[in-house]
Structure 1
Amino acid sequence: MLSYPRWRKVLRDIWNNKSRTLLVVLSIAAGVFAIGAINATQIILAHDLSAVYSTTNPPSAIIGASPFDEDLLDTIRAMPEVKDADARRGLNVRVNVGPDEWLDMNLYAVRDYDDIRVDKILPELGAWPPPEKEILVERQSLALIGAEVGDAILIEMPDGKRRQLPIAGLTYHLLQPPAHFTGVASGYVSRDTLEWLGLTRDFTTLTFVAAENDRDQEHIERVAEKVRRKIENSGRVVFNTFVPTPGKHPADDALQPLLLVLSALSYMALLMSGFLVINTINALLGQQIKQIGIMKSVGAVSRQLFIIYLVMIALFSLLALGIGIPLGALGAYGLSSYAAGLINFEITSSPIQPRVLMLQVIFGLLVPLAAAFLPILNGVTVNVREAIYAQGGKVYGFGEHLLDTLIHQIRGLPSTILIALRNSVRAKARLAFTLITLTLGGAAFMGVYSVRSSALNTLRDAKEYRACDIEVRFSRPYRQQVLQDIALGVPGVAQVESWGFTVARRIRDDDTESASIQVFAPPADTQFIRPALISGRWLLPGDANAVVVNADFVKDETDVKVGDTITLDINAQKKDYKVVGVVRSVLAGPFAYINYPFFASYAARDAGRAGILQVMIDDKSPESQTRVGQALEAAYKGAGFDVSNIRTTAQAGNFLGEQFNILIVFLFMMAVIVAGVSALGLSGAMSMNVLERTREIGVMRAVGASDASVLLVFLIEGVFIGVASWASGSVFAVPLSKILSDQVGNALLNTPLLYVFPPEGVALWLLGAVLLAAIATFMPAHRASRLSVREVLAYE
């Protein structure tokens, strides 16, 4: 019977003090939610991308060659080093998306859509396989081209021939780069349709899976070299060889910065929530001191009281777990689905992950109990007299510390502000925990804002990297002077420059070959590049065998540094080049620069010819770039030139910006979660302050204080705490933002972002901190201001 009143007290304390119960439960649940949402998202994305990637039977290597038939494919399949191989044809076409507006499209024809052995493409909607004279569109490309299934689209072949193709359905091609990243659509047709389009049924791309050691990149590169030689021995030309990182989806490089930031923010959320829980439980137990004294006076012993309050905290924790775990699962599902949609794969894992669930239970149950252990122990060992004479919990004094003395020296402010300032530092331990929570939240927000600004700064630098406004690429080299004369005759064109272009491979010391490398050959005195050097120098007019490579090249060829000599195979000629510089690049893939005179000296057939024309125009606006680009295309096609691609600087910048924006949006979603925990921490601290000072409020009301005056005192107190946390958060945000910026840049671009710490981010968080503080403080302060004098003087 003795135990029944004991547990009834626990249940009544929980039920009768609903506001306090809600505050404690939400404080714990906030941490449980943040841990669940962030950590589960991290696990789900890493696991599901790897899992769905493996189901496609990803290629060990991809080889581009001149047209070949099924006999060669069978020969490759028969090689003992090859487990399986497949072939398809790819070509670059353009699709009409509006009046005089065209978009690039990669058009593929697969050997057999019902027997795709490598790099599987799956049916998503409508017909399968693609009917003759119709097209299937990759599901993420549909929005890009602004069409629907059943619509007919107009495509333009490289030779200028145009055909109407009805969209018969959608496909799902995991390994195809998402259209919203690249700005290039993807379509799939039958080999019969290829013939109707005026092409042969031959293939141009070979994919294979290595028979052994399919996770060993060096082994795969050796196998790829054997396959390449087999193709060349058949009389075909191999244009490029690409060996992707084994077992790793190409989008993993873009995903890693997200996972990195998720990991950092999850630890911050865990730390913040821990302080929040400690703060709340300390205040809760402080309010129970008088009740402890009464129970002791009627015979309760410290051990019994200790168990009572541990059980109360455990019940709070269970309620919080019941709220935080489902909400965390929903958050994880939403965040992971958003990120997966960007990369173009489906989430299959449960949002409730066992490891995360265990972490949530540990945090939601053990952290509150651990946080409460010493306060409970101190509370239940207090003697009866001290406990009974405690008023409304712990009484915090003012004037005993240096901080109190400093605030006491402030003169000339209204009494309302002075009272608020003094009240804010009375509960110093609670203030410290609240400031730590808010500081971490503010630092996270300002850090993410700095990453955004650094990314945009890097993007601006990338746009300025080349001074051209329009780049025209041709399907084969043409005479430089003719290309330039035609361009200069187009209204709006101010200056032009022709470049050589080819594709090369690095021959390593062990005779293995790198993936394909784009090689640009600008004039020695080019005016169209403003190189962003990471190390070394730019090309000089007298450089004969010098090369400048980009950061993506160095990432793939990790042994290469400035001063090294490397061997490049260009147009079947192997020559040694000295690496004189490394330049920054933004999601461009590996490329290199050599001087055009040297390029032309050994590529005799291309001497005096160019495959790329860089164009600078008078009016730099995006509209003018589009208009002049269309005029250039019409001029060249009218003169009989095969134009393979025209891209304006505005278009390239938009697509790069889209990729950065996706990352930034995701970062801000994480920062909002962390800021939400911060706001809850302040709300909890202010609620406890209001509860503990309820009798003081009554005294103020009794001597004539108005509702507005009482409300203003607490609002000023909350805003003061918010501003103080903003100041400390601003200091902490500087190193945090630099670390985040460098790590995101290294993961995404292979080089740190161009770091900036923008003052507008600090100002924005100041505004946010003041608003959060005002909102978090308003509700408890509003309730307190509306209590009658009788109610507050009777409060215990």
Structure 2
Amino acid sequence: MAGWFERFSDTRWRKASRDLGWARSAWLALALGLGQAAAGVLLLTWAGVERATETAFRASLPVSASLRFGMGQTLDGARVAGLLAQQNEIAAWRLRRQVSAQVRAGSGWRAARLTALDDPTRVAIGRLQPESGPWPVPPGVLLMERSSLGFSEAQVGEPLLLRVDRRSHSLPLAGLLRDVSLAPGWMEHLVDLQVHPDTFEQLGLPAGFNELQIRLRDPAAPRAAVRQAVERLQTQMQAQGLVVQGVDIPEPGQHIHAAQMNSLLLTQGAFALLTLAAAGFLTFNLFAARLQAQRRELGVLKALGASARTLWVLGLGPALLLGGAANALALPVVLWGAQAYTAFKLDLLNFPPSVATLPWGALCLWAGVGLLLPLLAAAWPLAQALREPVVRQLDPGRDLAPSSGPLPAWARGLGPWVGLALGALLRRRSRSLLTVGALGLALASLFAAAALKAAVRASVDQLFAAQSYELLARLEPGGPDGAMEALARALPGVAAAEAWRALRATVVGAGVGDARAFALIGLPRSTAHWRAALAEGRWLQAPGELVVARTLLRQQPAWRLGQTVSLQLQGQGQIQRLRLVGVIESGTQALALMTREELPGPATRLALRLRDPADPLAAAAAGQALQAALAQAGQAPAQLSATAQSRQVLEDHLLMVVNFLAVMGVLLMAVASLGLAATLAQSVLERRREIGVLRALGLGDGRLAAVLALEAALLLLAALALALPLAAPLSAALEWAFGRIFFVLPWVLWPGSGPLLQVLGSLLLVGLLALALPLRRALRMPTAQAMAG
């Protein structure tokens, strides 16, 4: 140990520590720390979320496929066990039944889903995690999926008012459970409730199960293998008289929102890498300046016979110390930030924070990158310095050599002050270019984040501009179209009302597992309440036509305009053949539109236009009046959603993503601003002799300060000139990536002049503040001392 300490503390390391110059390198350590913190938080979050997917989701033994059976068909365990006895690839199975319902919340009714399992304690498939209350759930009580609790406004231990098939029931909410296979209830606007199978009989519903869930023995089996197993099982069941109405095959081993989460982290990680790159530029600049100032010292060491190994150690030692200091600064931020951000991401995936563990491998990778980055940034200028001849390094007149040749004629014509500033920038071209590059990249990133925010808001505006109503009521079930519209129009404050029909549908002929159900909405052909903007084709004009959302079109890539498609209506036993005539933007919701008269069944939606849409209380008053009118007419209470509230929820969720990208852009700008400050400070320190000569020639302090401020302004203008053309493709890339994750955005390639002025003002202020201290020191230095260097 003593020998190691002696080697560490020998003359070379003491010199490296002295050369680092703690006061002069504080900016650099802070900049590297910021870059390391941003990259570390995202790297550890990504690794933590991936590990949680492995340990929490796959450990729950997720369902490989679900088979739904038609009305009137019920399953029993003995019959299913006999059918599955010959299916060796199936490791486990269970029976399930789900029923749509509504629960009474403090501010109205919420959509709910009741789920009953034949044996909820079965641990071989889809494990549930009870958190409080009795387990398994006994008859006559409810257990709620814990992510639905806040959305439902319910209290554990208190009765919950439940509405099922027009009848109201009050059942106690006995506890909570967690189902990691579900998206959070607050995100889906759905209250998930677990009940005992016998509870359905208490609610006046027929007993039995209508869904079979299976899990294959091979957890890594691809979706095609699951599909083949399901097809064999489906054929065997059809031979026994069981008709499979629909099949759902999720992506094997992957949470429902995992792909979106990975894409989001990838986009954010790109910003973190840009921040690290800007910190690397800054490191290169300062080490190049340090080596330039020490060229005579290097020349003397080479003349005295110092080996290349010794010179490399002396040159890279400060970089290694700097990387260690940056890691030390960033480590607490990384540990705290990664823990908080991982918990937030896991909550979005409905995982408990307890499954998050510190990914030591990712932490070691992060620390290694933090040490390696300054070494790589310092290696190139050091290699150049070591290749320079000793005679040139020891030349005493080199400091007084012209900067980089004569200035261009157009630059000389701008005046002597501009010439002085340009000369200073051209003297160290590589430093100026890297500083401008980092600043330009930061500016472009901020502009792109602002453009993405504007594009998201424009998209939300476009989505809700098509909805010419302020209140939407979901009726379960409703009545005739005309009767429902007349009931709504008679309400105080309602200017117009329109009844719609809605059913769930699947695509006939889609492969097993690809027949995902979607909402099929029937609108009046001349609807005045919803005319979504067309992305392709035209609106409904004649019977037998279909308009689909782009999200649904992505699920059915073989569909083309003019093609006739066949849709199976769930619960109706009918097949609709419709010609695809248009494509609309509808956000993340997969849906299709057809004329109301062709869609069987009663009205299930009421769109209300209010007389005073600007009144925030008008929607609440109209909703209360509608509920009273429905109760008087013997109808079930409606689930109400105000357009303004729905818009706010959607915009908040989307802007949460965008704002995080903006935070990453601010970090990138902070690093670039530190680079600008360090570059200007180093420039002043290197030009003390030049400043002394100018002062000896009679240049006043005010003009001298103006020259240096002009140098900062030229850097900013050059960065702006780089950022302006770079911002548009960067904005397009962000908006394209956002469209791949969520939905297509309108192109907004420039956010406007407001962000430009704000960023430029802050940058100029940072540059002036960074220039103030070295300029003050240079101006207070006696002229003779300044000219001596």
Matched, 1:86 2:94: yes
Which structure 2 segments of 5+ residues have no match? Answer: 1-5
Query: 2:3 aligns to what?
Result: none
**Rounded Cα–Cα distance in structure 2 between residues aligned with 1:396 and 1:194:** 91
**Rounded Cα–Cα distance in structure 1 between residues aligned with 2:74 and 2:509:** 31
DSSP-derived class of the 2:586 partner? coil
Matched, 1:641 2:635: yes
Query: 1:280 aligns to what?
Result: 286
Query: 2:253 aligns to what?
Result: 247
How far apart are residue 624 of structure 1 and its match?
Answer: 1.7
Query: 2:150 aligns to what?
Result: 143
**Rounded Cα–Cα distance in structure 1 between residues aligned with 2:595 and 2:98:** 31
Amino acid at match of 1:365: L
Which structure 1 segments of 5+ residues have no match? Answer: none
**Rounded Cα–Cα distance in structure 2 between residues aligned with 1:67 and 1:500:** 20
Matched, 1:785 2:776: yes
Give 1:690's match in structure 2, choosing from 670, 684, 687.
Answer: 684
**Rounded Cα–Cα distance in structure 1 between residues aligned with 2:766 and 2:155:** 46
**Do the aligned residues in 1 keep the contact of 2:319 with 2:378 (CA within 8 Å)?**
no
Matched, 1:774 2:773: no
DSSP-derived class of the 1:529 partner? coil
**Do the aligned residues in 2 keep the contact of 1:7 with 1:308 (CA within 8 Å)?**
no
Change in 2 beyond 3 A, CA 1:726/1:785: same
**Rounded Cα–Cα distance in structure 1 between residues aligned with 2:405 and 2:207:** 90
Give 1:8's match in structure 2, choosing from 5, 8, 11.
Answer: 11
Amino acid at match of 1:442: L
Q: Deviations over 1:251-281 (max 9, x none)?
A: 1243143034134324433433332222121
Change in 2 beyond 3 A, CA 1:221/1:163: same
DSSP-derived class of the 1:85 partner? strand
DSSP-derived class of the 1:55 partner? helix
Change in 2 beyond 3 A, CA 1:619/1:62: farther
**Do the aligned residues in 2 keep the contact of 1:95 with 1:105 (CA within 8 Å)?**
yes
Matched, 1:624 2:618: yes
Change in 2 beyond 3 A, CA 1:172/1:455: same
Aligned-CA RMSD value: 4.0
Amino acid at match of 1:558: P
Matched, 1:763 2:754: yes
Matched, 1:554 2:558: no
DSSP-derived class of the 2:641 partner? strand
Amino acid at match of 1:615: L
**Rounded Cα–Cα distance in structure 2 between residues aligned with 1:77 and 1:458:** 51
Change in 2 beyond 3 A, CA 1:265/1:513: closer
Query: 1:161 aligns to what?
Result: 168
Query: 2:468 aligns to what?
Result: 467
**Rounded Cα–Cα distance in structure 1 between residues aligned with 2:654 and 2:534:** 21
How far apart are residue 754 of structure 1 and its match?
Answer: 1.4
Query: 1:56 aligns to what?
Result: 60
**Do the aligned residues in 1 keep the contact of 2:97 with 2:117 (CA within 8 Å)?**
yes
Matched, 1:753 2:715: no
How far apart are residue 129 of structure 1 and its match?
Answer: 4.0
How far apart are residue 640 of structure 1 and its match?
Answer: 0.9
Query: 1:515 aligns to what?
Result: 516
**Do the aligned residues in 2 keep the contact of 1:67 with 1:202 (CA within 8 Å)?**
no
Amino acid at match of 2:166: D
**Rounded Cα–Cα distance in structure 2 between residues aligned with 1:375 and 1:690:** 22
Query: 1:614 aligns to what?
Result: 607
Change in 2 beyond 3 A, CA 1:132/1:703: farther
Task: Select between 272-281 and 294-303 the one with higher mean Cα deviation.
Answer: 294-303
DSSP-derived class of the 1:120 partner? coil
**Rounded Cα–Cα distance in structure 1 between residues aligned with 2:8 and 2:451:** 56
**Rounded Cα–Cα distance in structure 2 between residues aligned with 1:202 and 1:468:** 41
**Do the aligned residues in 2 keep the contact of 1:118 with 1:208 (CA within 8 Å)?**
yes
Q: Deviations over 1:748-787 (max 9, x none)?
A: 23xx311213433x53144224314523652463254156
Alignment of 1:335-734 (within 5 A): 335-346=341-352, 348=355, 351-352=358-359, 354=361, 357-358=364-365, 361=368, 364-365=371-372, 368-369=375-376, 371-379=378-386, 381-384=388-391, 386-387=393-394, 389=396, 397=403, 400-402=406-408, 405-410=409-414, 423-476=424-477, 478-508=479-509, 514-541=515-542, 543-544=543-544, 546-570=545-569, 571-589=572-590, 591-599=591-599, 603=600, 606=601, 609-621=602-614, 622-643=616-637, 645-696=639-690, 714=708, 717-734=711-728
**Do the aligned residues in 1 keep the contact of 2:684 with 2:774 (CA within 8 Å)?**
no
Query: 2:79 aligns to what?
Result: 75
Aligned length: 773
Change in 2 beyond 3 A, CA 1:277/1:196: same
How far apart are residue 248 of structure 1 and its match?
Answer: 2.4
**Do the aligned residues in 1 keep the contact of 2:471 with 2:640 (CA within 8 Å)?**
yes
**Rounded Cα–Cα distance in structure 1 between residues aligned with 2:321 and 2:296:** 21
DSSP-derived class of the 1:452 partner? helix
DSSP-derived class of the 1:558 partner? coil
How far apart are residue 172 of structure 1 and its match?
Answer: 1.7
How far apart are residue 584 of structure 1 and its match?
Answer: 1.9
Change in 2 beyond 3 A, CA 1:186/1:511: closer
How far apart are residue 54 of structure 1 and its match?
Answer: 1.6
Q: Deviations over 1:468-512 (max 9, x none)?
A: 332223223522221121111112222222233222221227688
**Rounded Cα–Cα distance in structure 1 between residues aligned with 2:234 and 2:59:** 26
Amino acid at match of 2:640: I
Change in 2 beyond 3 A, CA 1:499/1:316: closer
How far apart are residue 122 of structure 1 and its match?
Answer: 0.9
Amino acid at match of 2:747: Y
Query: 1:172 aligns to what?
Result: 178
TM-score (norm 1): 0.85
**Rounded Cα–Cα distance in structure 1 between residues aligned with 2:304 and 2:240:** 100
TM-score (norm 2): 0.85
**Rounded Cα–Cα distance in structure 1 between residues aligned with 2:81 and 2:8:** 80
**Rounded Cα–Cα distance in structure 2 between residues aligned with 1:776 and 1:204:** 69
DSSP-derived class of the 1:18 partner? coil
Task: Select between 630-639 and 34-43 the one with higher mean Cα deviation.
Answer: 34-43
Amino acid at match of 2:598: F
**Rounded Cα–Cα distance in structure 2 between residues aligned with 1:38 and 1:686:** 31
Amino acid at match of 1:569: Q
Alignment of 1:73-222 (within 5 A): 73-78=77-82, 79=84, 80-81=86-87, 82-98=90-106, 101-115=108-122, 117-125=124-132, 127-130=134-137, 134-146=141-153, 149-150=156-157, 153-163=160-170, 165-166=172-173, 168-191=174-197, 194=200, 197-199=203-205, 202-203=208-209, 205-210=211-216, 215-218=221-224, 220-221=226-227
Change in 2 beyond 3 A, CA 1:362/1:340: same
**Rounded Cα–Cα distance in structure 2 between residues aligned with 1:213 and 1:139:** 27
DSSP-derived class of the 1:594 partner? strand
**Rounded Cα–Cα distance in structure 1 between residues aligned with 2:466 and 2:249:** 28
**Rounded Cα–Cα distance in structure 2 between residues aligned with 1:312 and 1:672:** 28
Q: Deviations over 1:506-555 (max 9, x none)?
A: 122768871223221222222233133332322212x33x3222222222
Amino acid at match of 2:113: N
Amino acid at match of 1:258: L
Change in 2 beyond 3 A, CA 1:215/1:305: closer
**Rounded Cα–Cα distance in structure 2 between residues aligned with 1:26 and 1:355:** 22
Query: 2:26 aligns to what?
Result: 22
**Do the aligned residues in 1 keep the contact of 2:133 with 2:175 (CA within 8 Å)?**
yes
Amino acid at match of 1:104: A
How far apart are residue 429 of structure 1 and its match?
Answer: 1.7
DSSP-derived class of the 1:108 partner? strand
**Rounded Cα–Cα distance in structure 2 between residues aligned with 1:321 and 1:4:** 23
**Do the aligned residues in 1 keep the contact of 2:470 with 2:610 (CA within 8 Å)?**
yes
Q: Deviations over 1:111-168 (max 9, x none)?
A: 44433553332123455444665543333333334455455554444525252634x4
**Do the aligned residues in 2 keep the contact of 1:222 with 1:512 (CA within 8 Å)?**
no
DSSP-derived class of the 1:246 partner? coil
DSSP-derived class of the 2:479 partner? strand
